[in-house]
Chains A and B, each alone.
Chain A
């Protein structure tokens, strides 16, 4: 997370998406940059450490190495997106919420266990909405229509 991509100041994109619970268990990790496994583990722990100490009076943004984390807490789950420092905070903050509303609709009142037992479906939802570190589709209607179509396939 140091050398690569830092020089290119104007490139903005998502570096990774993490869903973690308060205990630090990862419920989804989606990487849009090359990291080795040790580095991923380190990032997961660091993100957990910086995000969980913050309270409701704090912003939803936190500087993280040369990047920043945009995060939002839903019950016991933290949804975190790591982006470049010049990226649009509020767009990602609502990007998270849009994603959560889709999950909620798709799993009918989503809870943490849905993400555990259906982890392979969560990846599909993510790929529908975020791809290659970019926002792919923002219409909940369109995403859900596509997901239902896929659900009906064998």
Chain B
């Protein structure tokens, strides 16, 4: 037991630790700990005052027990007492206890801060450092408030010891990170920059970190650091390996400081001053040269330290992206590393080269290493290295090598680790699309993806292949032939059945001339897969069948038999049943003309950013990709033919609704209430200018929905402004005065999404809605309560002009929240009932809180953010009388229905409710915290909202106040 034998430790502590180590079971350990806790408690409570040593020993034992994973609920006071001891060892244990068991216990905080204050002004460097380390470790808001002014003073004071300066610099950095508002820039900033000139390299090391962080936030204020950093770096790089003595690590001069200086320079563009720029280029060249020199030591520490600097230098070269010679040299250097025996270096070279690939200067140079990278993909043992190889192949891909790279990735996919298959699938799908010259190659590639890794082919991928086939005439026949052939395989992946069903349903006619793929053979082939598929695929196949009836009248009878079978018409799944019923009826009653119109080929999809690319970005998550690279890829994808919908919507505060209506012409006689829903119009309600409406279908749109959307090309395709500004204007040709807007049930929907919105003796309007982030979809059901037909029925927009007695009509509204808003859109309904024109206007319950995403957070986080949102305009409070009985469970349900996460155990008062969430709009996200304090005696509530935007605070407070 080394500590004991050294004789400088605490004997009692060592004995206790030994006892714990000798415990044979968890139970024995707990028993021993409880015994110790009882002992310590009695000592702390005892009459005899404990001496400093005992106090230190017991506090240290408590700390050990805590670190073993047990709760400690006493001893804090004794630890605080140790802070004011004048013995280092006692003080140190006190500070350690405070740092490890941070507690926002308010009475102790002031005592702790007081002790820290004393130590900071003690002029004893050891005590000052203990105090500064404590602030840096805890970094609480209270400490920032108390010491934000003092720490910079210590940092720049002329007589401060070097080691204290180091701690003060990083302490200030910590305070700046946690409470930037409390650490304003001051006259100390210029003096901090000059610490880069300090003689003591430890001070420079700490100061560089501080300056880098500050420079990221306000580059202008720290601009002068560039020339000083270059000068410092130059001196280090050109020094002989022994010059820096203490700071030379395995023959490398100050490697960590060099890395930090190179990092600081990455906060800025290349220096404008020619001399400084020249000097920096010299430094970078020297670093590259050193990589070629024979190593001064065989130790891995030497090469690691040297290469740490090299990789950071390459990062800077890539960041500047302005010196072709340096970029190509960097690339060559990395190329050597690609074949190095050290796995670490191969990994880092692949990673670093990935960013080089996106520079126009080095892209070609990177491409020369393609064979090595492909080899890495095949031979590396570490999956993370192979993953980097995939990334690099993806990054270096262009038109010239796309076929080779896609082929290699496809063949790797067959043996790839499960963990990275999905990502490879996405990458292959993107590359195949982006670099497709002829789309037959693209179709083959995607079908191969499904064949090799069907389980990893996400919906986005197969949606995309369908979108592309539909949008490009030249490939449709090939696609139909290829899927037909692929479906011949006895066992094929369900995703292939989906693609096959969809494509044959649309373009099966293109191959029907060949007797080997006659309509009946096509149908039999598809139907042979039907029973093995899941419900969504079967639903898709049913749609393909009805499309077949239109394409091939000769198989109508066969298909009707299938649709009519009990397994379809009485299917337990309501979607399948409904489709079978509707399709069967449609095929029986509709004339050929109508069938041809309803089941016409799908119109081209609007060009938009590939949903696969979006998925890949999501999958990689923020921070996982090099930021620069990410940006670059975005631009490239735009070149690659995808659209960018960043249309400005800054003035979208006013709700501007536009609707796209696909009207069927002539109207189809409605005979059965059930199938109206199939023909109901698809209405897109957009909270923005019409141009953004193409965005709406976005990723989530399912083929099923698109399938049921009647074609836009034929018939009347209207683009109608329903509302301009906030005033409701009726869009129909004959404008009618609109009566009062009904909103009786409006507030009921604030905390729920489904229910009856409106009802009178004639009509009932039901709602079902779902929201995700800034998007929503609302199903509006119009029920005719009478036994007679409504004529000329129109809801907001000309809808199906008749609604039969007892029948129900459904509308789907797609909703996007562009920015925060107050007024809800109004739905206008007009119809003729028994000769009288009926006008109804109902406020649609689309409220700001629908775009809430709940956020879970700890008590500490909650109150930290609560304090950050402390500006007067950010808080809105309302005190109001309870309108309903004050039931805890009901209240909880309402807060959750409101959309916020209900945070348990956050508020010290268990009767209060706190919630947190984020409001998603297209342009921004607004973090929201709420707190509801009921007073059951007074039957009152106090509701407080804090968000980063005053209008949001106000609106949410208004909405929620009405609920209780």
Contact = CB atoms under 8 A, between A and B. Distances in A.
A134 B209 contact: yes
A58 B344 CA distance: 8
B2 A138 contact: no
B624 A85 contact: yes
Given A88-B308, A124-B92, A132-B173, A113 B2 contact: yes
Contacts of B93: 120
A91 B1 contact: no
A59 B623 contact: no
Interface in A54-99: 54, 57-63, 66-67, 84-86, 88-91, 93-95, 97-98
A19 B612 CA distance: 40
A2 to B, nearest CB: 9
A127 B163 contact: no
B627 A9 contact: yes
A97 B255 CA distance: 13
B946 to A, nearest CB: 17
A127 B202 contact: no
Contact of B259 (A10, A91, A117): A91
Interface residues of A, number: 67
Interface of A: 3-4, 6-12, 26, 29, 34, 36, 39, 41, 54, 57-63, 66-67, 84-86, 88-91, 93-95, 97-98, 107, 111, 113-114, 116-120, 123-124, 127, 131-142, 146, 149-151, 153-154
A34 B177 CA distance: 12
A136 B246 CA distance: 14
Interface stretch (B379-387, B451-459, B769-777, B873-881): B379-387
A131 B312 contact: no
Contacts of B311: 88-90
Contact of A114 (B3, B139, B167, B312): B3
Interface of B: 1-4, 8-9, 14, 17, 21, 60, 63-64, 67, 69, 87-89, 92-93, 96, 99-100, 126, 133, 136-137, 139, 163, 166-167, 170-171, 173-174, 177, 201-202, 205-206, 209, 213, 216, 245-247, 249, 254-257, 259-260, 263, 267, 301, 304-305, 307-308, 311-312, 343-344, 347-348, 381-382, 384-385, 621-624, 626-627, 855, 858, 860-861, 864
A58 B87 CA distance: 47
A135 B169 CA distance: 12
A26 B66 CA distance: 12
A85 B256 contact: no
B89 A154 contact: yes
Contacts of A120: 60, 63, 92-93, 96
A90 B88 contact: no
A139 B860 contact: no
B67 A119 contact: yes
Contacts of B209: 132, 134-135
A117 B295 CA distance: 40
The 4 A-B residue pairs with the shortest CB-CB distance, nearest first, are: A90-B308, A139-B246, A117-B3, A153-B88
A137 B348 contact: no
A7 B67 CA distance: 31
Contacts of B167: 131, 136
Contacts of A140: 246
Max chain B C-beta neighbours (<10 A), residue from A62, A88, A114, A146: A88
Nearest to A3: B855
Nearest to A101: B301
Given A57-B382, A116-B21, 16 more contacts: A34-B864, A57-B343, A88-B259, A89-B348, A90-B311, A94-B308, A117-B3, A117-B4, A134-B173, A135-B205, A136-B167, A137-B205, A139-B201, A140-B246, A151-B8, A153-B89
Contacts of A119: 64, 67
Contacts of A94: 249, 255-256, 301, 304-305, 308
Contacts of B257: 138
A138 to B, nearest CB: 5
A36 B173 contact: no
A80 B943 CA distance: 45
B256 A118 contact: no
Contacts of B855: 3
A57 B381 contact: yes
A91 B255 contact: yes
Contacts of B305: 90, 94
A89 B201 CA distance: 22
Contact of B96 (A11, A39, A123): A123
Nearest to B93: A120
A93 B170 contact: no
Contact of B17 (A116, A133, A134, A136): A116
Contact of B249 (A59, A123, A138): A138
A134 B343 contact: no
B340 to A, nearest CB: 12
A59 B213 contact: no
Contacts of B100: 123
A50 to B, nearest CB: 10
Given A94-B249, A113-B1, A119-B67, A59 B174 contact: no
A150 B60 contact: no
B622 A6 contact: yes
B861 A34 contact: yes
A153 B216 CA distance: 40
B347 A118 contact: no
A11 B1 CA distance: 42
A59 B170 CA distance: 31
Contacts of B344: 59-61, 89-90, 93
B311 to A, nearest CB: 6
Given A94-B301, A134-B209, A138-B257, A41 B69 contact: yes
A107 B67 CA distance: 21
A9 B96 contact: no
A66 B619 CA distance: 11
Contact of B9 (A7, A86, A117, A149): A117
A18 to B, nearest CB: 13
Contacts of A12: 263
7 contacts: A12-B263, A86-B623, A90-B304, A91-B255, A135-B205, A137-B163, A151-B8
A90 B307 contact: yes
A66 to B, nearest CB: 5
Contacts of A138: 202, 205, 247, 249, 254-257
A130 B826 CA distance: 60
B259 A134 contact: no
Contacts of B137: 127, 132
